Amino acid sequence: MARRAVATRPTRPSPYCEDCGGDVWWAWGIHGKKWTPLHPERYPLDGTYGTYEAWQDAHGGLLCRHLPPGERGVQDRSWRAAHHNAACGRWRTEVTSGLVRESLAAVPAMTDGDLLALGHRLRDVQAAISQEIRTRALSATDEE
């Protein structure tokens, strides 16, 4: 009888981002079965920041799974974690620039209903940006 090969994980990538040079925690994604780059900071499980639940396995490595907003993690001693892209300056610039470029290219081809829906979504984005700026300004004045 032929023996079945033991499933092994691919080698963990470098602990530094190739784009921005920042530190990265690599966690094995239990659903996607791949390495997931996480921002090296632990966030409270009951918080709203971070889209992953992360925890240490028995060998000291990190495991993670997607955690929808408002949902509490189920693993013992776990925390919320954010994807490294949320903190990577180069990624944010490239993605937001690409989003603007693609949106502007799509506008001429959109129907009136699509344009109204896009305008509504963009107002929601602007409101979120304004709220974040207000929150940061208020926390800065509280610290002084």
Cα–Cα distance for residue pair 110/102, rounded to 1 Å: 12
Q: Kindly report the pTM of this predicted structure.
A: 0.65
Of the chain, the end-to-end C-alpha distance in Å amounts to 72
How many CA atoms lie within 13 Å of 46's alpha carbon, on the beta-carbon side? Answer: 0
Q: What is the pLDDT along the chain (144 residues), one digit of tens a residue?
A: 667 666 677 888 888 988 888 899 999 998 888 999 999 999 887 777 888 999 998 888 899 999 887 788 888 889 999 999 888 877 778 888 888 999 999 999 999 999 999 999 999 999 999 998 999 898 877 776
Contacts of 83 (CB under 8 A, 6+ apart): 36, 37, 38, 39, 51, 52
